[in-house]
Chains A and B, each alone.
Chain A
Amino acid sequence: MRSLTYAEAIREALKEEMENDNRVFVMGEDVGKFGGCFGVTGNLWELFGEERVRDTPISETAIIGASVGAAATGMRPVPEIMFADFLTVCMDQLVNQAAKIRYMFGGKAKIPMTVRVPVGAGLSAAAQHSQSLEAWFTHVPGLKVVMPSTPSDAKGLLKAAIRDDNPTMFFEHKILYSIKGEIPDDLDIIPLGKADIKREGKDVTVVATSLMVYKALEAAEQLEKEGISVEVVDPRTLFPLDEDTILESVKKTHKAVIVHEACVRGGFGGEIAAVITEKAFDYLDAPIKRVGALNVPIPFNGKLENYVIPGTEDIIKAVKAVTE
């Protein structure tokens, strides 16, 4: 097995899909020779040229809008929005155009595009460069939402997203770009809508997304020493959501903690909690706990930032609260 960083795994997925299908192309700000703000597109520009690795003006509305137009007419664009925070600039194109065209046209069009977006805090990048806005997009029928935590998940899911015929939001965590992980030799696509159990356990289910998967695993490690066995479930895609894997786990452990980096209020944790209470209420031995950022914008100062976003300690506390 080979080891790749999360960024390299994403680049490899892009490269393979571009080799497989010449309708696939990348566009975004500084994705060309510069190689992307976080270095993700890297050498793709050298490999495929500026037609298929297109530098765009600073025009998020046009990046997404033109992707919609290109996708509707036979291409398979993979636009990059430099920071999730800038999705606000092109929200209309995503919500009113990309997501709804197929439905409004009575199924007579498809929009096969994958929007790659870095999310998350941890770089002291302050309130307009640190948000995790994934929950917004789960609230828009017509969009699929993917949020991988490991290099191999990122690679397999990105390939699946690019081959998918629907507009898909693909959220990459900035802090994860440099982490390394093994890539199985036979890794092809990982289907959207399949959760992954990142650690098996029997006392508590912790459903965690993206970077929080690692914090949940750390928490599980520490709790193990105290005799609490934690199962860590990574949904990997928020829509379609693999409810079965989450529910099966909860039916086994009878307790659930949900962790994401986004602030708690209105976060995707609320949706998962609702699914569990609707479909496995009788199995629960304790109220569900949600762990997320405080309900504030992300502050600049690193200590404040750390305080605001959830950490391993917060997960441990929540697990203890449901097991007590």
Chain B
Amino acid sequence: MELSKEQLIEMYKKMVQIRKFEERVVKLFADGKIPGFVHLYIGEEAIAVGACSAIEPKDYITSTHRGHGHLIAKGGKIDLMMAEILGKATGYCKGKGGSMHIADVDLGILGANGIVGGGFTIAAGAGLSAKMRGTDQVTLCFFGDGASNQTTFHEGINMASIWNLPVVFICENNQYGISLHQSRHQRVADVSDRAVAYGIPGVTVDGNDVVAVYEAVNEAVKRARNGEGPTLIECKTYRHRGHFEGDPVVYRSENEFNEWLKKDPIPRFEEKLTEMGVLSKKEVDEINEWAVKIIDEAVEFALNSPEPELESAVRDVYTDIIEEVRK
């Protein structure tokens, strides 16, 4: 395995950070502090972290409505994210975007997206741009199993494949699109089978195994950087929470849920790292405490941040025109 001890620890820390972040969002949402919809990533952390560990800061990602994990994995700032989720002026989008629209273009994060399937073609475009500008930047496009039935899946991947664009399409197959089980929304069991249609490699990996995800994405990123075009990687996983906070989750069985809890990516990785002697039990605890402390600070920052001024609502529509305010 080519991952160094430091890299493994870094990956573990990111996964814990995402988990703690999301757990805090659960609580804040339950306390009525978070408006709108939030879709949580708990249970799927290995994918964002495994994938983003295989790219560099100069590279791009496109994210989804379930984006907190991708953003943290790509280096998004936790305090600015938390402030945005709470709708504050100090948040990533000045309170205009919320959970579903967080972006940090300077970090290569081309945005969460409220439109299912919104990322495929944007990722193809980012790949085209990298190619035309002559850089070796790669774009990771995260999407769900449900999104793979949108027209943009076909159009985006086809375009990336005919033009050999440096894009890695990463399906987070958590087996549901809201209430609909994968078996009821598509005939294939493996989304990666569809790669055949585009003449590109398609692989399926255990999405709850962060190293497996890393290895698959790393391979695909190498190909992409070498001008060999896109890859379709499917990561099998499961979301622990409902589709959105507040979802009564009537569409899946207790049994199925419990089976997947046993495959929780974080304890699994933790066990592996302690067995390998990379981390001691004590270090694991320290990392968990550290992660909570960072979230505490972020929440503190977010809660103490001001609400945006009303008139800020009309700014940022155009680069050069400011709309009329209400009189």
Contact = CB atoms under 8 A, between A and B. Distances in A.
Interface in A124-157: 124-129
Contact of A59 (B87, B97, B151, B251): B151
A47 interface: no
B314 A294 contact: yes
A322 B37 CA distance: 40
A128 B101 contact: yes
A96 B66 CA distance: 33
A301 B114 contact: no
Given A29-B178, A86-B115, A299-B95, A304 B323 contact: no
Nearest to A311: B326
Interface string A293-305: 0111101111110
B149 interface: yes
Given A300-B35, A301-B307, A304-B313, A89 B150 contact: yes
Given A29-B178, A57-B185, A59-B150, A126 B100 contact: yes
Contacts of A33: 179, 250-251
Contacts, number: 126
Contacts of B317: 295-297
A127 B99 CA distance: 12
B312 interface: yes
Interface residues of B, number: 42
A303 B36 contact: no
Given A33-B251, A58-B185, A89-B150, A307 B326 contact: yes
Contacts of A123: 35-37
Interface residues of A, number: 35
Contacts of B308: 301, 303-304
Contacts of A127: 96-97, 101, 114
Contacts of B87: 124, 300-302
Nearest to B152: A89
A125 B37 contact: yes
Contacts of B115: 85-86, 89, 128
Nearest to A37: B178
Q: Tell me what chain A mostly uses at the interface: helix, strand, loop, or mixed.
A: loop
B37 A58 contact: no
B36 A126 contact: yes
A58 B149 contact: yes
Contacts of A32: 179
B251 to A, nearest CB: 6
Interface string B72-93: 0000000000000001100001
Report the 9 A-B pairs with minimum CB-CB distance, sorted nearest first.
A124-B35, A300-B98, A128-B114, A57-B149, A34-B179, A124-B36, A301-B87, A301-B95, A57-B185
Interface of A: 29-30, 32-34, 37, 55, 57-61, 85-86, 89, 123-129, 294-297, 299-304, 307-308, 314
19 contacts: A29-B177, A29-B178, A32-B179, A34-B178, A59-B150, A61-B151, A89-B151, A123-B36, A124-B87, A126-B114, A127-B96, A294-B324, A295-B324, A297-B96, A299-B96, A300-B35, A300-B93, A300-B96, A301-B96
Given A33-B251, A126-B100, 15 more contacts: A30-B178, A30-B179, A30-B180, A32-B179, A33-B250, A58-B185, A85-B115, A124-B87, A295-B324, A299-B95, A299-B313, A300-B95, A300-B101, A301-B95, A304-B308
